[in-house]
């Protein structure tokens, strides 16, 4: 490993942070740990890096208390590498980097809540089929921790939306001018109206946005929603699945997409982009019916 100049004595917090995570391999390790990749061999396979370099980067992250070693096997002793609270605090950094890459490297820099079907961003989302969602908890609109994947039904429909508010004045300025942003109320109410059909097919419906639980609760009460809205304000689900986001009013917002997930936490169907919110609800219902009962 090439010798690095340490910046730890700098009074600049950016420089101090880069002393820990300034190497690109280091941030990719944090990215994959957020995705549920915790073991040495798994990390090496995912990242394609040498054992020597991976060992050095893991040691650096453990020393910096970004990762913690957790034993999972006694003979021989083997460890997993899991994010600490300090490490999870890097999730907004990862999401911001992804957002910047989608907007300015893969895109034209415009603010949008959608993508073209042929885009690399859409390809990344569709590659989630077959991916297992790691164990995590999100706050529901009552502030209670909840697994985004229901354990008591064969499937969970996770419809991710930019934001829905009970009061028109609560929307960020220029919201209706952002492609793909309007339509969250119609989408949620369509799921509400078709909830009995989803239930009959063995599917639970969860809505997900990055709004605060109190904002979601106010909206759910006004629209009489009979299913939970989940808050990913901490960006844990977004980071775990590398879901696309955009920035509005200084906050990261989910782009509109839908995932159908089975009881084993495996993504079975994806909708992205979603040009028609009413049609997307019907497509999600059709996907659950097509998948049928798991064996």
Give per-residue pLDDT as tens, 38-63.
999 999 999 999 999 999 999 999 99
The neighbour count for residue 110, using CB atoms within 10 Å, is 10
Q: Longest C-alpha distance within the chain, in Å?
A: 62
pLDDT of residue 1: 45
- The pLDDT of residue 200 is 97
Q: Going by C-beta distance under 8 Å and a sequence separation of 6 or more, which residues neighbour residue 16? A: 7, 8, 10
Residue 128: what pLDDT?
98
Q: Give the strand pairing for 138-140 and 145-146.
A: antiparallel
- pLDDT at position 110: 96
**Which residues of the chain, if any, have pLDDT below 70?**
1-9, 294-295
Which H or E run contains 248? Answer: strand 245-248
Residues 6+ apart with CB under 8 A from 130: 266, 267
Report the top-level CATH class of 13-88: mainly alpha
- Domain 110-291: what homologous superfamily? Glutaredoxin (3.40.30.10)
pLDDT for position 216: 98
Ramachandran angles phi, psi of 96, nearest 5°: -65, -40
Ranges for all domains in the chain classified under CATH 1.10.10.10: 13-88
Token pair, residue 39, equals 């073991």
Roughly how many angstroms between the first and final C-alpha of the chain, as a whole number?
49
Structure token pair of residue 158? 């996770």
Structure tokens at 264: 């084993």
Cis ω for the linkage preceding 76 (within 30 of 0): yes
How many CB atoms within 10 Å of residue 97? 12
How long a stretch of residues is the chain?
A: 295
Sign of CA dihedral 84, 88, 93, 97: positive
On the question of a cis peptide bond just before residue 273, with omega within 30 degrees of 0, the verdict is yes
pTM greater than 0.85: yes
Q: Which part of the chain has CATH 3.40.30.10? A: 110-291
Cα distance between residue 71 and residue 80, in whole Å: 6
Supply the pLDDT for residue 5. 61
Contacts for 285 with CB less than 8 Å, ≥ 6 apart: 194, 197, 198, 201, 203
DSSP 74-110: TTTTEEEEEE-HHHHTTHHHHHHHHHHIIIIISS-S-
What does the angle CA 236 – CA 241 – CA 245 come to, to the nearest 5 degrees?
A: 75
293-to-78, 200, 290 alpha-carbon distances in Å: 37, 12, 9
**What per-residue confidence (pLDDT) applies to 63?**
97
**DSSP per-residue letters across 157-171:** EEEE-S---SSGGGS
Quote the pLDDT of residue 295.
Answer: 55
The continuous run of DSSP H or E covering 150 comes out as none
């Amino acid at each position: 490993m090439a010798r690095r100049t340490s910046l730890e004595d700098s009074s600049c917090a950016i420089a101090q942070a880069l002393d820990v995570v300034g190497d690109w391999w280091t941030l990719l390790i944090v990215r994959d740990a957020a995705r549920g990749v915790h073991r040495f061999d798994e990390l090496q396979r995912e990242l394609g890096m040498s054992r020597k370099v991976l060992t050095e980067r893991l040691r650096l992250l453990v020393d910096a208390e970004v990762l913690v070693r957790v034993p999972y096997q006694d003979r021989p002793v083997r460890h997993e590498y899991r994010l600490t609270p300090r490490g999870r605090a890097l999730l907004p950094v990862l999401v911001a980097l992804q957002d910047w890459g989608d907007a300015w490297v893969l895109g034209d820099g415009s603010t949008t809540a959608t993508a073209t079907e042929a885009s690399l961003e859409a390809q990344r989302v569709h590659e989630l089929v077959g991916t297992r969602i790691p164990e995590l908890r999100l706050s529901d609109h009552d502030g209670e921790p909840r697994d985004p994947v229901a354990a008591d039904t064969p499937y969970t429909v996770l419809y991710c939306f930019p934001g829905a508010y009970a009061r028109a004045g609560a929307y960020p300025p220029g919201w209706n001018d952002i492609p793909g942003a309007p339509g969250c109320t119609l989408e949620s109410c369509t799921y509400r109206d078709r909830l009995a059909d989803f239930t009959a097919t063995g599917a639970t419906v969860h809505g997900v946005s990055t709004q605060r639980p109190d904002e979601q609760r106010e909206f759910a009460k006004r629209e009489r929603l009979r299913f939970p809205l989940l808050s990913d304000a901490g960006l844990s689900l977004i980071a775990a699945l590398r879901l696309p986001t955009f920035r509005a009013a200084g906050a990261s917002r989910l782009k509109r997409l839908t995932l159908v997930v089975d009881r084993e936490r495996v993504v079975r169907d994806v909708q992205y982009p979603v040009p028609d919110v009413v049609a997307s609800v019907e497509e999600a219902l059709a996907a659950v019916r097509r998948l049928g009962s798991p064996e």
